[in-house]
Amino acid sequence: MFGSFFSRLTAAQPGTLPAEDCRLALTALLVRVARSDGYYDADEQTRILHVTQARYELSEADALTLRGLAETLEEEAPDTVRFTREIKDAVPLEDRVKVIEALWQVALADGQRDQHEDALLRLVSSMLGINDRDNALARQRVERSL
């Protein structure tokens, strides 16, 4: 189903993903964060829906479709590095903190911090060029808003 998407991600000389693919990669990363603690509950699914609706100005139906595709893609994806690399290439540095905030919104949607989610967020932040301090500040902003 995602053969051409994966072939673009794994190409020896990958180009920049089209906006649709970048949107799918980020949503799949949101799903990966939500699933990283072994649970993928309704609160996390709803948060992903709200994040994608707000970030991409989608209708609920379109956001549900995107989340469904992202869930399937996340299951089939070989690793997190390729998603993150494409997001880093597509999103300017000053906007990547917003990506981290979106990931924290999903990680904290169930009201609990989990060591697996924390570890994945530290890894993703580093791969996106976001330092530990800015990652922690992003988490704190999200905690205050929830």
Q: Contact, 129 vs 93, CB < 8 A?
A: yes
CATH of domain 18-145: 1.10.3680.10
Distance CA 30, CA 47 (A): 9
Overall size of the chain counted in residues: 146
- Separation CA 142–CA 73 (nearest Å): 26
Using one digit for the tens of pLDDT, what is the confidence trace for 81-117? 877 887 888 888 889 999 999 999 999 998 888 899 9
Confidence of residue 6 (pLDDT cuts 50, 70, 90): very low
Instruction: Please tell me the pTM assigned to this model.
Output: 0.83
Of 14, 25, 66, give the one whose Cα is nearest residue 45.
66
CA–CA distance, 131 with 136 (Å, rounded to integer) = 9
